[in-house]
Chains A and B, each alone.
Chain A
Amino acid sequence: MDALDLARWQFGVTTVYHFLFVPLTIGLGVFVAGLQTAWHRTGKEHYLRLTKFFGKIFLINFAMGVVTGIVQEFQFGMNWSEYSIFVGDVFGAPLALEALLAFFLESTFIGLWIFGWDKLPKRVHLATIWIAVIGSTVSAYFILAANAWMKHPVGYEVIDGKARMTDLWAVLTNSAALAQVPHVVGAAFVVGGGFVLAVCGHQVLKERRTATARRNPPSIWRTPIRAALAMTAIAGAVVAVSGDMSAKLLYEQQPMKLAAAEGLTHDTAGAAFSPVPGVEIPKLLSFLSTNDPNAVVQGTTDIQTRFTEQFGPADYLPNLPVVFWSFRVMIVFGMATVGLSILGLWLTRRRRGGNHPQQEIPAWFARAALLALPLPTIAMISGWLLSEIGRQPWTVQGELLTAASVSPGVSLTEVAISLAVFTLVYGVFAVAEAVLIIRHVKAGPEPAVPAAPLIPPSRDDQAADVRLQPTLMY
């Protein structure tokens, strides 16, 4: 174990952790903005209650995404100074643009949204949440463009041992980025939709448990469930199509990752696809990678030989089992989520004959909907493991090895301390966030008609004041 290993662990831990929150920020943010838009257009009170209910969860999660994101920007310089010096001219630009064009929007307008409920005109207030979520999505684009450059460097030349940008437009429209952005942002909507689905499933089960459920007014959860199902299914289609694009790009740009994901050791014409070891679908891999069932797909061992000739002797193989299995987990868990959402759309379809018991969400489906929370999150994390571990041993494909990227002046002790500190802090906050969200979901949304007493609450009546106040303010 040396500083390099720990630095890699630190990047893995902090980045995976950061990405537990980011997709929910993007997906749930758009969902909340959509609910507020529905309230704005229809004036129906239950949309406002849902906006505030999901809005609060969104904010609990948003805070974690923001603070863990700061670490991301700093740790390139802290742990990967050689990498930073090599790539800064190219890679730094999208990071700077992300801060300037996206983070300022996101942070300023989220503040206006949280505190602006009774200070801004309704229409302007609605605009603030949309601008904030657009900011989040724009930030995803820039950071993914930067990440795509590591896998498929374009628009640069190497001068005096440093990459120098020659074409910003090429960096921002990198083919790898154009496939990756819809894949990751689409997956974020799947995660967001799945989260809403799970929360609604819980609420539907809770309604059914209470004796009076049948006599209550129609459930407010039907609309968000339908919306979340549609969001998950549509986003799932985007993820599938862009995933196919990514696979075809891997064939050209990162053959080692493709071979590792498929466990293909030797260059093979008409390569078969093997969903699980032992099962093979003839020629499918060649077809998926090139649209030609007889094309030659390179294998890991043969690529190793070619890389050794091209770049000198070294081990150019990524961690093969991790890449192989994360690929499968990603596909199976991702498709399971989308399958669940399509099933749900069919089950909850509007039937002729108006409002009768058939319109209810079946209990078994409400229970199954709880799975929509972990499934896409696990798929997403697996996708990142595939993508980033599959890139090894390079930080910049074909240009810079990970071993040559680490900070030379940072000691093992220093990395160990920061890794321990971040892991500890992150662990505590992960538990705290889970508890906070679970408590909030269990409490449910504000009651339909707030029982507002007309007497002004007195100073020592703060508990009542909290209940009365349906805002997101402190």
Chain B
Amino acid sequence: MELTTFWFVLIAFLWIGYFVLEGFDFGVGMLAPALARNEAERKQVLGTIGPVWDGNEVWLITAVGAMFAAFPAWYAGLLSEFYLPITLILVGLIVRGVGLEWRGKVQHASDRAWCDLSVLVGSALPAFLWGAVFADLLRNSALAALVGGVLSLSLCVLHGAVFVALKTSGPVRSRARRAAVIAAAVALPAAVVALPNIPVTDAVAAGWSAAPWLWAGALASMAALASGIALTWRGRDGWAFAATASSIALGGAALFGALWPAPLPGLTVAEAASGPYTLGMLTWIGLIALPFVLGYQAWSYWVFRKRLVAEVSVAKVS
């Protein structure tokens, strides 16, 4: 595979990893007020993402850093073109991160409430806006942006609900499963409208033989979504999570497939790319480092693999 193609695929992989991982973080952040009835349960819900959310966010930092290094014009064009939505996404990520980290460090219940609000708003803003930005990029219409935003927001809620169901026990788990079904009632119709509308014309015009696979990816994403709902219904939490993760990943793959070979209107990957020397050097370093990164991140999920019960801290003391 030639280097620009490889780097486009790698950047797509990083973005998709970000959507899948931070997707459930966003969902958990938005669902926390709905799933928890008291402080112990709120700790339980947010505890599911506590150790991992920061590492998940670095997928975005790495994706954007890789765009800067490998396709400077794509990086600069995307961020300056969608200036205000990106500003709001950044504000969301700021207030959310601070809310998550500080809620355990403040003393008063009212300060904790501010943190919870920050987490809610800071999760909802990027969850909606990333979908809106990419949908607008593909279809260049406000309606598409709205549908894309609703789809990504509801998918995040669904994915987060399924994750909470997988990582908790007790009343919170049952509430999470109910929340998943409600989120699915929005996500599924949004997916049915949005995914088949991912334009493949550019890819077809460029004579890209894999264009039909985009349709397959979009369809598979919908199928994974539907099966995720069914699996949640039947209490198969692990498989349900795998299904919603696959749905987001397949949808993301279709999205980035549609951005090939022109990730921005009038800008092809080849025009945007850095020189072969930079891409070559980064390829070597990336290929050596990435397995380690994936390894220790997976290990951190393994360390925190147990389901959380409410009042987990109290159980520790005795």
Contacts and interface: CB of A to CB of B under 8 A. Distances in A.
B263 to A, nearest CB: 13
**For chain B, which range describes its interface: under 10, 10 to 19, 20 to 34, or 35 or more residues?**
35 or more
Contacts of A447: none
A97 B66 CA distance: 8
B129 to A, nearest CB: 13
Nearest to B312: A473
A85 B105 CA distance: 42
Contacts of B265: none
A103 B61 contact: yes
Contacts of B275: 89, 159, 164-165
A459 interface: yes
Contact of B80 (A81, A112, A168, A471): A81
A107 interface: yes
A71 B89 CA distance: 10
B91 A421 contact: yes
Contacts of B76: 76-77, 80-82, 84-85, 88, 407
Nearest to B42: A474
A414 B64 CA distance: 21
A70 B79 CA distance: 13
Contacts of B53: 111
A190 to B, nearest CB: 25
B281 A436 contact: no
B140 interface: no
Contact of A473 (B64, B293, B303, B313): B313
A74 interface: yes
A112 B302 CA distance: 11
**For chain A, which range describes its interface: under 10, 10 to 19, 20 to 34, or 35 or more residues?**
35 or more
B84 A414 contact: yes
A107 B303 contact: no
B90 A165 contact: no
B91 A78 contact: no
Contacts of B94: 67-68, 70-71, 425, 429
Interface stretch (A55-63, A260-268, A285-293): A55-63
Contact of B285 (A59, A80, A100, A118): A100
B177 interface: no
B90 A71 contact: yes
A407 B285 contact: no
B79 to A, nearest CB: 3
Interface of A is mostly: helix
Contacts of B79: 74, 77-78, 81
Interface stretch (B67-75, B145-153, B195-203, B227-235): B67-75
B62 A96 contact: yes
A275 interface: no
Interface in A148-176: 159, 162, 164-166, 168
A469 B313 contact: yes
Contacts of A73: 61, 64-65, 68
B311 A459 contact: yes
Nearest to A466: B313
B83 A96 contact: no
Contact of A111 (B55, B77, B293, B314): B55
Interface stretch (B96-104, B178-186, B236-244, B250-258): B96-104
State the 3 A-B residue pairs at the shortest beta-carbon distance, nearest first: A88-B72, A77-B79, A92-B69
16 contacts: A63-B97, A70-B57, A70-B60, A87-B72, A88-B274, A92-B278, A99-B66, A101-B285, A104-B293, A159-B275, A165-B277, A407-B80, A409-B81, A457-B317, A462-B40, A473-B47
Interface of B: 39-40, 43, 46-47, 50-55, 57-58, 60-62, 64-73, 75-81, 83-84, 86-87, 90-91, 93-95, 97-98, 100-107, 274-275, 277-278, 281-282, 285-286, 289-290, 293, 296-297, 300, 303-304, 311, 313-314, 316-318
Interface of A: 56, 59-60, 62-64, 66-68, 70-71, 73-74, 76-82, 84-85, 87-93, 95-101, 103-105, 107-112, 114-116, 118-120, 159, 162, 164-166, 168, 407, 409-410, 414, 417-418, 421-422, 425, 429, 432, 436, 439-440, 452, 456-457, 459, 462, 465, 468-469, 471-474
